Structure 1
Amino acid sequence: MAERPSNPAAGSLPSWLRIVDKHKGLIVPLAFVLLLIVILIPLPPLVMDLLISFNISLGVIILLTTIYMAKPLDFSVFPSLLLATTMLRLVINIASTRLILSADAATPEAAAGVAGKVISAFGDFVAGDSLFVGIVIFLILVIVQFVVITKGAGRISEVAARFTLDAMPGKQMAIDSDLNAGNINEAEARQRRQEISQEADFFGAMDGASKFVRGDAIAGIIITVVNIFGGLAVGIIERGWPVGQTAQVFTKLTIGDGLTSQLPSFIISIAAALIVTRSGAKADLGEELTGQLMSQPRGLTITAGFLALLAITPLPTLPLLATAGGLGMLSFGMMRTAKAKAHDARDTAIAESQAPAEPPPVESLLKVDTLELEIGYGLVALVDAGQGGDLLDRITAIRRQLAAEIGLVMPPVRIRDNMQLEPGQYRVKIRGAAVAAGELRPGMLMAMDSGIATGQLQGEATKEPAFGLDAWWIDPPQRHRAESMNFTVVDTTSVLATHITEIVKQHAHELLTREEVNNLVETLRAKAPKLVEEAVPGLVKVADLQRVLHNLLRERVPVRDMETIVETLADWAPKTNDADILTEYVRNALRRSICEQYAVREADRPPRIVCVTLDPAFEDQIAAYVDRGPAGTSLTMPARVANQTAERILRGVQRVTAAGHHPVIIASPQVRGVVRQILEPHLPTAVVLGYNEIPPGVEVESLGLVGATEPAEAVTAA
């Protein structure tokens, strides 16, 4: 079966074009190699004519491409192309100099065509019978390029590069704000960040590339002077030709050579200046120029009147009146067009205002935001950066914090003002359902008692919404007094940001969608491609991976180490499809990072886990209600028994919390998961570890043994 062309349009191309299209990646390397060969090997005049013609046409193509591009990044290869064209011109200069100085001619007249017809024609056309005219025209061209265009383009490149780099942080913050507000998704944010980075790289490269243009202009002047004196030396000293004829021939050839080099250089310099002056362009130069220059008909009218006044002076009357008449007619036509557009726009606006309003499409009502924050009108200032609000910046910091802590990319937060809420109230929703709410006091501070505060504050008593600590709303002047009494004082934005962080951690398993799991897998693919190729989806289905990640996040186990998670699942998934059992295997592999969160570290002793443990007989009673079947692990314990079991464990846990530690229970791996399931409705922050999850080097300090009836007295184990 014949191989199909990779490009759908390639089938209609001639065979030689298909070959070029297939191997187009070799064109640029071969071109550079050929340029190096041109320096070493003398060229016949015909080849020199072809190279010069190609150089001029390339300059025109670059200029027209610059004019028609919509924005500078559409021609992002320009800095590299600028270097390539500079090298091409210098190589042609070297090759043409060799032809001119090594002219194999018996007389000066015969030497006129040794460098090719293009160089000879340029010299004759510009200089004519006067060498002085040719030299002056050449110098004017070089001076305009060197002093005006090249210097201006170089300065603009420097300023554009500096301001582009200075504006990068602000643009990045604007993207993060739009992402947090839900105005754009993660893919759009990633694309915008990439465009900002490319823009900075482009203008930085243009800043350096402009030096090539300036150096090329200087090199052109030096090469021209060297060619003139070198030609005179060759003709007079080596060949013995008359001085006048030698100067006539070699000066014309040198001027022609210089013009064939400086003309494309001049064109590309204009292109470089155009591309750096259009950093904020949104359309091609023709559209912007005509649209802006012709946007004010009054300017054309005044200009026409000015030219008409000049016509009554001794200046030529006919050209001035003809130009004034043309501008006047153009201005009159533009005014009529503007009036017609304004009339049409007014009629359209009236028709739209009288037309019945169409209801929004039903499909728009089906959209549900993953994470939503509703605020009362009194909290709008927290979101408005113009009023000093930095909530959007805090949410950006929360996204980074959560990604670093638990490995979850928090979805964008859609922030809405809800007039049905009290001015200081807010409500957090996940997929349209409210999961938390609170009330803030704008303009006031919250002073929290973490257990070490001394004294009383004058303020409104409240509860810190994230952790339920006793707190008071106080006026800002009381801040120093509250801090001196060991109260923790924060502003309203910090209270709300902390609450959002805890809500996301608590409901992280609900926010981890199938799409996000695929993103995590693709991120892992970049790091460990062989592992992903072998394991997903061959050994581990994405759905099974999502269920295991849900189980981990439900117990606040970080999922940053996706490589270890996928490796463990790849080992055990062929043996069982029970997500709970697979979760236990993964937890065992992540035991160091799990215990790291709850280990107590002191300088004079090894890290230790302060906890309560379960009596083996008590664990056997719980295990009797565990049913492991083909559909997975399920708990058949009656609600009354589950409540009694939870109460017994919680009474033991009180000893741990009373000692100032996180509530940690250690159980056997067989019942660890169901114990956590029993405790979750009563104490969501409880941590249940398995004995196998305690890594070497970590001690266990048990403050109690929970039995089938009541917890035993404190028992310390190491």
Structure 2
Amino acid sequence: MSDQSGTARKTFFGNSTELVMAVAVVAVVMMLIIPLPTVLLDALMAMNLVLALLILLIVLYTRKATDFSIFPTILLVSTVFSLALNVSSTRLILTRGTAFDGRMVRAFSSFVVGSGGTEGLVVGFVIFIIIIAVQAVVITKGATRIAEVAARFALDALPGKQMAIEAEYNSQAITEEEAIARKNDLQREVDFYGAMDGSSKFISGNVKVGILITVVNVIGGIVIGTLIHGEPITVAIGTYISFSIGDGLLSQFPALLISTATGIIVTRSVSNGTFGEDVSEQFSRDARIYWIGAGVLGGFALLPGFPWYVLIPMAALLVVLAVRLGRRKTKRDTAAAKTADAKKAKPESEDMSPIVPLDPLSLELGYGLIPLVDREKGAELLERVHRIRRESGLDLGLVIPRIRIIDNIRLEPSEYCFKIQGVDVGRGKIRMGYYLCINPGGVKDELPGEKTRDPTFGLPALWVSEDKRDEAERAGYTVVDPPSIIATHLTDIIKRHAAEILGRQDTQEILDALKKSYPAVVEEAQKALSLGEIQKVLQALLREQVSIRNMVAILEALADYGQAAKAAKNMQFLNEKARQALSRQICLQYATDDRVLRVLTISQSLEQKILDSAVETAAGIMSAMDPSTRISWIKALSRTVAAVQDQGWYPIVLCSEAARYLVKSSTERELPDLVVLSVPELVADVTVEAVGEISVESEEKVKV
């Protein structure tokens, strides 16, 4: 019940505040047209003074400029309010003349001036001119310039700050909620200084209009007093000039307070404390300045003609401040020395981390490519990176860690670089504003453009401008924009280096997540094999582009054959059994839409030579052919693969289970993308079609 009443009360006050503000703004505008009684005018003028004073105090006690985000709007409302009061007071002064009984205007026209008669008028006019000059030439002009520079710098620095936030988020230094909050704060800061750039013009406009209104009041009052009211010229001058000066001072004094507040809020952009805290901290850092100041004042006091009775007390006050600050500094130094001694007493290993962690996967950009990750310009690359991470998780079954994107001044402006654990694994160059036109092989009409190569696959390509894009597409080129180039390269990097990205900690996290749903499978696999052995099997699968998403089938195979593989000291046997557990997935990965798998076979004599070349090493069983046989084997394989590719088919080699790993490992350097399947990996509902045989005794035979 109390919660409901509190909510209702909050809603009521919130709605009431909105209603009051709406009525107040409309009333301020209507004041320009509707005459006001003098009592209400006095109350509103007093309210204008209080409002200006409150604005100044709020600015002084505000820690960050964006904490007072409504300040630009307040400037507009207060300026219109002040001008409306000017118009209302002008109307009453000109219509009533000597009978005008506005107490606030009369008080400023007499008390502030300090004397009556002609002398008072002259003094009041001089004070009015001085206030106008100080406000227009000194405070308002300086605040306007600072607001312009702050707005420009805030906008220019926005991409770099956004990249810094993205880098912290990608490196998991901050959470997603913290990243969003920082970005919102950054956007508010840019919006605030952008609004202040224009709002500062309200103050300068108010000064100019105040001068105009005062001049119009004086001239109009003299004309009305002498020609309409029939007053003597001296009476009209004394009355209307006095009222006009009082009205001008009364309107410009609140404007001066608001101008001062404007100058303070735009000059404190680098502060994190209130104005008072900053003054207290920064004026108390060094006691020597107060000793020097006291000495200078004491020297002036000894000179003839100077008021020693003023200077000596001020010098004594500075000496007291210097002594107190010196004692405070001594205490701080003592405390700092104790802290330093305590740190020295600790072992060095506690002072710094024994390792400097590296990013699992990072993307470094030259400064010319920063617009690709600029939120103001769409940040298309950031969205694509996020999508690639999600798609890689679905395709490979491996959750890619957050990719840290940073700028690197060591790179050329148009260059980018991918790194895994701080090691360069791929780089390229981008021409911003141009499109990469890749020749897929059948293009005959060449376009004019800068020749280059696709950074992902090394295909011949051209850089063409945007107006040539349609022409390139019609000519048969594959046209790619800059974000797509980096995204395609990133996808290829992830596929080729997925095994390097998967670490023991990642493997443990996979097992922990799977254990919630399949505890028996995970426990049995971990009994048979260690964490490192499971990781190596997963890495072997990823190295050959086999998805590990079906972890249940993989772990069941490891549980079944783990003990046998360890007893025989043949971990490659375990890899083959894991592949066979995923046989349907692997076959469908390379089969055509009608489930036909076109393969190359190996002659029986050649396969036997490969089997005979097997030797045991510390890394497992490897192929060790003699040089001549290996050269013949690679040449025959390369020619056969090229012939199959000419037919538009994907090259797949089929062999026995015992030879599969040896075939793959012996060709990894020359043909890293070659797919090698074993007979047990074939499934019944996929049709296998042999399109050629690889042999070193004779020329290869290829079906056409």
**What TM-score do the two structures reach when normalised by structure 2?**
0.56
Q: Displacement, 1:657?
A: 6.9
Aligned residues: 470
Q: Give identity over the alignment, percent.
A: 33
Q: Does 1:67 align with 2:54?
A: no
Q: 1:408 and 1:494 mapped to 2: Cα distance?
A: 12
Alignment match, 1:28: 21
Q: Displacement, 1:441?
A: 12
Q: Does 1:340 align with 2:331?
A: yes
Q: Does 1:85 align with 2:78?
A: yes
Q: Which residue, 379, 382, 386 being the options, matches 1:403?
A: 386
Deviations 1:214-241 (A, max 9, x none): 0100000010111111111222111112
Q: Displacement, 1:22?
A: 3.7
8 Å CA contact 1:185, 1:412 repeated in 2: no
Q: 1:197 and 1:101 mapped to 2: Cα distance?
A: 49
Q: 1:51 to 1:441 in 2, by over 3 A?
A: closer
Deviations 1:54-76 (A, max 9, x none): 11111111111111111111111
Q: Which residue, 107, 111, 115 being the options, matches 1:121?
A: 107
Q: Displacement, 1:135?
A: 0.8
Q: CA RMSD in A?
A: 5.3
8 Å CA contact 1:160, 1:203 repeated in 2: yes
Q: 1:234 to 1:167 in 2, by over 3 A?
A: same
One-letter amino acid matched to 1:159: V
Alignment of 1:595-610 (within 5 A): none
Residue 594 of structure 2 aligns to a residue in which SS?
strand
8 Å CA contact 1:176, 1:189 repeated in 2: yes
Q: Which residue, 149, 155, 174 being the options, matches 1:159?
A: 149
**What TM-score do the two structures reach when normalised by structure 1?**
0.55
Q: 1:439 and 1:231 mapped to 2: Cα distance?
A: 82
One-letter amino acid matched to 1:373: P
Q: Does 1:349 align with 2:335?
A: no
Alignment of 1:309-388 (within 5 A): 309-313=299-303, 314-354=305-345, 373=360
Q: Does 1:55 align with 2:48?
A: yes
Deviations 1:261-291 (A, max 9, x none): 1011000000111111111111111111221
* Most deviating of 328-337 and 163-172: 163-172
Alignment of 1:443-462 (within 5 A): none
Deviations 1:691-714 (A, max 9, x none): xxxxxxxxxxxxxx9866655899
One-letter amino acid matched to 1:658: Q
Q: 2:239 and 2:385 mapped to 1: Cα distance?
A: 78
8 Å CA contact 1:656, 1:664 repeated in 2: no
8 Å CA contact 2:596, 2:688 repeated in 1: no
8 Å CA contact 1:613, 1:706 repeated in 2: no
8 Å CA contact 2:456, 2:488 repeated in 1: no
Q: 1:92 and 1:346 mapped to 2: Cα distance?
A: 62
8 Å CA contact 2:596, 2:689 repeated in 1: no
Alignment match, 1:191: 181
One-letter amino acid matched to 2:213: I
Q: 1:326 and 1:317 mapped to 2: Cα distance?
A: 14
Alignment match, 1:138: 128
Q: 1:156 and 1:468 mapped to 2: Cα distance?
A: 51
Q: Displacement, 1:207?
A: 1.1
Alignment match, 1:614: 595
Q: Does 1:5 align with 2:24?
A: no
Deviations 1:584-605 (A, max 9, x none): xxxxxxxxxxxxxx9xxxxxxx
Q: 2:239 and 2:419 mapped to 1: Cα distance?
A: 89
Alignment match, 1:602: none
Q: 1:137 to 1:656 in 2, by over 3 A?
A: farther
8 Å CA contact 1:82, 1:209 repeated in 2: yes
Alignment match, 1:421: none
Alignment match, 1:150: 140
Q: 1:399 to 1:256 in 2, by over 3 A?
A: closer
Q: 1:358 to 1:711 in 2, by over 3 A?
A: closer
Deviations 1:378-419 (A, max 9, x none): xxxx97999x999x999x99754333557669653479xxxx
Q: Displacement, 1:715?
A: 11
Q: 2:593 and 2:643 mapped to 1: Cα distance?
A: 7
In the alignment, structure 2 segments of 5+ residues that lack a partner are 393-399, 406-417, 428-438, 442-454, 459-485, 511-544, 550-588, 598-639, 653-671, 676-683, 693-701
Q: Displacement, 1:178?
A: 2.6
Residue 338 of structure 1 aligns to a residue in which SS?
helix
Alignment of 1:293-692 (within 5 A): 293-313=283-303, 314-354=305-345, 373=360, 399-403=382-386, 411-413=401-403, 500-502=493-495, 611=592, 613-614=594-595, 658-659=645-646
Alignment match, 1:648: none
Q: 1:405 and 1:428 mapped to 2: Cα distance?
A: 16
Residue 592 of structure 2 aligns to a residue in which SS?
strand
8 Å CA contact 1:610, 1:656 repeated in 2: no
Q: 1:222 to 1:711 in 2, by over 3 A?
A: same
Alignment match, 1:205: 195
In the alignment, structure 1 segments of 5+ residues that lack a partner are 12-17, 376-381, 416-425, 430-436, 443-449, 453-465, 470-492, 515-552, 558-597, 599-608, 617-652, 666-682, 687-704
Deviations 1:315-353 (A, max 9, x none): 010110111110011011101110111112212332454
Residue 40 of structure 1 aligns to a residue in which SS?
coil
